[in-house]
């Protein structure tokens, strides 16, 4: 069975649950819910497994806090013997308008500390990432407050549809591959 590691980035704790920075957690939670799976606390994170057409998707919510996410990614990648090309990291992106989808095979950390740590621990920028746009509706020096702030009422209303789109994207990544999924979902 072909294995994938789908990592949703976020911070543990109730105070972060509904923040923009935790969209990675929200996305993997939505996928687990869709397939009627639940998360269990394990080493360095909460995990759930979703099986789709001969593929096994290990969903990971690191418990290391955002800035140390690489430790959990590396541990589960090595433990489960998942190749780098079968990893997908789901993260928030302030450089994209709310709800925008960008799937990429590699790239810079874009100033995102979670991606920066993953890049350092894996010693490469060659890993797949799914950037979920959270917008940049903040003034100078207010970025941290914004990403750690909760969704607006308008965003919350649109989030359900965006989470459904996100689960379809991840399933497509596992079943159809990166290139076809990028063609189908980027800019949707």
- pLDDT band at residue 88, thresholds of 50, 70 and 90? very high
Token pair, residue 112, equals 């995102």
Strand-pairing partners, residue 178, are none
Residue 168 reports pLDDT greater than 80:
yes
What residue ranges do the domains of the chain occupy? Answer: 2-185
Token pair, residue 133, equals 């746009």
Give the fold, CATH level 3, of 2-185: Rossmann fold (3.40.50)
Distances (CA, A) of 74 to 56, 97, 121: 18, 30, 7
Q: Counting Cβ atoms within 10 Å, is residue 54 exposed (0-12), middle (13-18) or buried (19+)? A: exposed
pTM of the model: 0.95
Nearest C-alpha neighbor of 11 from the set 61, 66, 48? 66
Average pLDDT over residues 154-163: 94
How much of the chain exceeds pLDDT 70, in percent?
100
In this predicted structure, what is the pLDDT of residue 65? 84
In this predicted structure, what is the pLDDT of residue 83? 96
Residue 39 phi, psi dihedral angles, 5° rounding: -90, 145
Residue 103 reports pLDDT greater than 80:
yes
Average pLDDT over residues 145-168: 94
Annotated catalytic residues are 21
Encode pLDDT of 47-69 as tens digits: 999 999 999 999 999 999 888 99
Residue 134 reports pLDDT greater than 90:
yes
Helix axes 113-122, 69-79, angle to 10 degrees: 40
Average pLDDT, the chain: 93
Residue 83 phi, psi dihedral angles, 5° rounding: -70, 150
Three-state helix/strand/coil letters over 60-103: EEECCCHHHHHHHHHHHHHHCCCCHHHEEEEEEECCCCCCCEEE
Residue 112 reports pLDDT greater than 90:
no
How far apart, in whole angstroms, are the C-alpha atoms of residue 184 and residue 179?
A: 9
- Output the CA angle 83-46-101, nearest 5 degrees: 65
Average pLDDT over residues 6-27: 94
In this predicted structure, what is the pLDDT of residue 44? 97
How much of the chain exceeds pLDDT 90, in percent?
84
Average pLDDT over residues 18-39: 96
In this predicted structure, what is the pLDDT of residue 109? 77
Average pLDDT over residues 128-153: 90
How far apart, in whole angstroms, are the C-alpha atoms of residue 62 and residue 87?
A: 14
């Amino acid at each position: 069975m072909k294995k994938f590691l789908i990592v949703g980035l976020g911070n543990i704790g109730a105070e972060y649950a509904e923040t923009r920075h935790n969209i990675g957690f929200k996305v993997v939670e939505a996928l687990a819910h869709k397939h009627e799976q639940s998360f269990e606390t394990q080493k360095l994170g909460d995990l759930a497994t979703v099986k789709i057409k001969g593929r096994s998707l290990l969903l990971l919510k690191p418990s290391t806090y955002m800035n140390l996410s690489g430790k959990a990614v590396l541990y589960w990648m090595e433990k489960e013997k998942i190749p780098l090309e079968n990893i997908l990291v789901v993260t928030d992106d302030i450089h994209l308008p709310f709800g925008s989808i960008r799937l990429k095979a590699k790239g810079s950390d874009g100033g995102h500390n979670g991606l920066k740590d993953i890049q350092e621990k894996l010693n490469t920028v060659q890993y797949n990432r799914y950037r979920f746009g959270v917008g940049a509706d903040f003034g100078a020096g207010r970025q941290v407050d914004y990403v750690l702030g909760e969704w607006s009422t308008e965003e919350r209303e649109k989030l359900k549809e965006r989470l459904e789109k996100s689960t379809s994207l991840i399933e497509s990544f596992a079943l159809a591959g990166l290139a076809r999924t990028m063609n189908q979902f980027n800019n949707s």
